[in-house]
Amino acid sequence: SAVISQKPSRDICQRGTSLTIQCQVDSQVTMMFWYRQQPGQSLTLIATANQGSEATYESGFVIDKFPISRPNLTFSTLTVSNMSPEDSSIYLCSVEGYKGTDTQYFGPGTRLTVL
Amino acid sequence: GENVEQHPSTLSVQEGDSAVIKCTYSDSASNYFPWYKQELGKGPQLIIDIRSNVGEKKDQRIAVTLNKTAKHFSLHITETQPEDSAVYFCAASKNYGQNFVFGPGTRLSVLP
């Protein structure tokens, strides 16, 4: 299966600041996604990271709050901007199209706490 | 849009017993149904998946069954072990790996 790393693995941030999360996969993939998982809850898709173009956001998520980059086929970043305690969550990246498969694989997640 | 329900929300079984988790979906166009296992502090890990042209799939102690008519699919774990304890999520997709809608999850505890 895909080997996916996320940095940082966890962070504690102050209200009003921004944090950029990195996602790196060990081989080129077709699709990269960003999810949010609030404590004890299921996964909610934030956006699809598109290589070379603007990300596609799901309802309730906007680019100003969650800017996303995907400069190549193995790397993406998600920024959580102007953070508030409500942004405390686990942020997960996932990939699809790894070595020709259509399975979606997840990274280990980034646990964010906003004070 | 698609809606995925999952039951039960929590499940406790004795080691060696079987565990069954059921999901229902609303969109008859959904054609791909993966199951993920999430251990504490880790990302979800794919454990098995099934496509709409198959009724059942098995991988060692894990099996998934799909009833397209009734729009439900189930995860079966036999001979459970303590390391099976985790949260399990089902999902449904119309595009084989994209646009997943996840169920709310089932916390499975296997008691030694």
Interface contact flag, A108 B96, Cβ < 8 Å: no
Per-residue pLDDT of chain B (112 residues; tens, 9 = 90+): 889 999 999 999 999 999 999 999 999 999 999 999 999 989 999 999 999 888 999 999 999 999 999 999 999 999 999 999 999 999 999 876 567 899 999 999 999 9
Which residue, chain included where needed, has tokens 């609303």?
B26
Q: What is the DSSP annotation of B58-69?
A: EETTEEEEEETT
Q: Please, what's the b/e burial string for A12-42 (b: 16 or more CB within 10 A of its CB; e: otherwise)?
A: ebeeeeebebbbebeeebebbbbbbbeeeeb
For β-strands B10-14 and B106-111, DSSP reports them as parallel
Residues B75 and B84 sit within 8 Å (Cβ to Cβ)? no
Residues B79 and B16 sit within 8 Å (Cβ to Cβ)? yes
In this complex, the residue of A31, A42, A96 whose CB is nearest that of residue B102 is A42
In this complex, the residue of B44, B97, B104 whose CB is nearest that of residue A96 is B97
Q: A86: burial class by Cβ within 10 Å (0-12, 13-18, 19+)? A: exposed
Residues A5 and A24 sit within 8 Å (Cβ to Cβ)? yes
Q: How far is A102 from chain B (nearest CA, A)?
A: 5
> What's residue B96's pLDDT?
64
**Which residues touch A59 (CB under 8 Å, ≥6 apart)?**
none
pLDDT averaged per 10 residues in sequence order, chain A, 115 residues: 95 97 96 94 93 91 96 96 97 93 91 97
Peptide bond into B104 cis (omega under 30): no
**Alpha-carbon span B61 to B76, nearest angstrom:** 8
Beta bridge partners of B75: B21, B64
From chain B residues 49-68, the ones with a CB under 8 A of any chain A CB are: 49
**Alpha-carbon span A30 to A102, nearest angstrom:** 9
Tally A–B CB contacts below 8 A: 47
**Alpha-carbon span A61 to A111, nearest angstrom:** 19
